A and B are shown apart, each in its own frame.
Chain A
């Protein structure tokens, strides 16, 4: 069945460090892939998405490229800020599953000044 695996946290970085959070998926066909972010005490917000192979999603300095050959969608940011501290979720959707998203377990990121 469909599933998403993302790196275990927590991840702790200093401000301006480079960030990578790994995400791999299992799904048939060509799913759409997403990164969601959850700030403390809030619901999830869409951070970026990619709907086909080799697409790059980007937003707020974050990027992720849809790699069909490695079934991956790793999240990267060149220089993190304290305000990026949050929980990040990788997710996938296949059109045949209609309203269902499949989420990874989430990665807690803490950025220290």
Chain B
């Protein structure tokens, strides 16, 4: 099992550029989430999904889009990057039957200049 994988590990974007952060899990988990981590702010939920075809907004969804066409994949799209989106992004997954014990990917460090 690879667990939760994220690509890329590092990325630098210019303001206004778009990109997709990839997330995949091989544990057949129903739930997947995207968080951003900023100094002193802990982890804040961006979007989450409770199954293929079902997504919902978290605390800080503006500027981000998601879709969940398969159980395994949950990409996060930045449509027009802004410096305020400079952060470390974590993807997580969990099974519906395990009290939401979440497994995290290694993170993507994004810098927007």
Q: Are A44 and B104 touching (Cβ within 8 A)?
A: yes
Interface flags, B91-113, vs A, CB<8A=1, else 0: 01010100111111111000000
Interface string of A76-104 (1 = CB under 8 A from B): 00000000000001000100001111011
Most buried by A among B102, B103, B107: B102
Query: How many inter-chain residue pairs (CB < 8 Å) link A and B?
Result: 60
Docked-complex contact A99 and B94, CB < 8 angstroms: yes
B50 within 8 A of A: yes
The reply to whether A98 and B42 contact each other, CB–CB distance below 8 Å, is no
B interface residues, Cβ below 8 angstroms from A: 4, 30-33, 35, 40-43, 45, 48-50, 58, 90, 92, 94, 96, 99-107
CA distance A43 to B90 in the complex (A): 7
Interface residues of A (CB under 8 A from B): 32, 34, 36, 42-46, 49, 51, 89, 93, 98-101, 103-106
CB distance from A17 to the nearest CB of B (A): 25
| Complex Cα–Cα for A32 and B107 (A) | 25
Interface pair A99/B42, CB less than 8 Å apart: no
